[in-house]
Structures are given as C-alpha cells and as structure tokens.
Amino acid sequence: MIVEVRLFARAKDLAGAESVRVELADGATVADLRGRLAADVPALAGLLERCALAVNDEFAEDSLRLPRSAEVAVLPPVSGGGLVAGAREAMCRSVSKAHGRRIDVGCPASFQL
C-alpha cells in the first residue's frame, strides 16, 4: 500500500517537502512506517524517534496497524510555545476526539528581547 505522510516543522525542513509517499506492505505498523521513512529519507532518521505520529487525526503508538486509507502526520517535538500551521489543528482534533468535545491546545504568546 502507498501511504502519504504529511511532514511538519523540522521534519518538513529536513525532507525538503511537505509530504512524502511511502510504500508499505499491507498490515504494516507505525513502527514499520518509521523504519521505511528513515530508509527513504535518511535526513529524517535521527528526528523520527522523537516525533509523534498521528494516524487519522489521532496520536498513534508504534504497534498500531495502518489502515489502507490512513492519513499520517509526523509531528516533531516543539518548543518555544508555538506550533506550526496544521500541527495545531491535528492536535486539537486528536484531543477533542479523545474527550468527546472541542478542546483547543496551545496559546498565543509574544516575547520581547
């Protein structure tokens, strides 16, 4: 099966693309996807072990089997209080589904130097 993986923040920068397509065997897991991504895009190898992966708008454990129509996002760790466009929305959808109601995450912040 072919899985399209959306990349955010540092993952997007390292890959030089907003998304990549990965070929996996039917029944592949999130762990299999991490391994294939590291092999196909070596620049991501060191970052992937620290990234959260979301499958169909929910954070996924490495043991999760990927459905054929999976929507996958790689969400690198963030700092400084900000989330990149798209990552915030994916996190909001995931948290909202888990709690059965709309929940927003993150907040605006400004800093003066």
The pLDDT > 90 percentage for the chain reads: 59
What's the rounded mean pLDDT across residues 71-93? 68
pTM: 0.69
Going by C-alpha positions, the residue among 36, 27, 38, 30 that lies closest to residue 54 is: 30
Confidence at residue 15, expressed as pLDDT on a 0 to 100 scale: 95
pLDDT of residue 94: 58
Instruction: Say what the alpha-carbon torsion angle 77, 80, 84, 88 is, to the nearest 10 degrees.
Output: 80
> pLDDT: is 113 or 49 the higher one?
49
Is the sign of the CA dihedral 93, 7, 81, 110 positive or negative?
Answer: negative
User: What type of residue is 56?
Assistant: N
Question: How far apart are alpha carbons 25 and 91 in whole angstroms?
Answer: 27
Residue 77 pLDDT class (50, 70, 90 cuts): confident
| 8 A C-beta contact, residue 95 and residue 106 | no
pLDDT at 40: 96
Give 103's pLDDT tier (boundaries 50, 70, 90).
very low
State the pLDDT at residue 105: 46
Please provide the average confidence, as pLDDT, over all residues in the chain.
81
Output the six-digit token pair for 72.
């996958």
CATH topology of domain 2-77: Ubiquitin-like (UB roll) (3.10.20)
Our CA dihedral for 72, 33, 2, 96, rounded to 10 degrees, sits at -20
pLDDT, position 100: 57
Please say whether the beta carbons of 58 and 98 come within 8 A.
yes
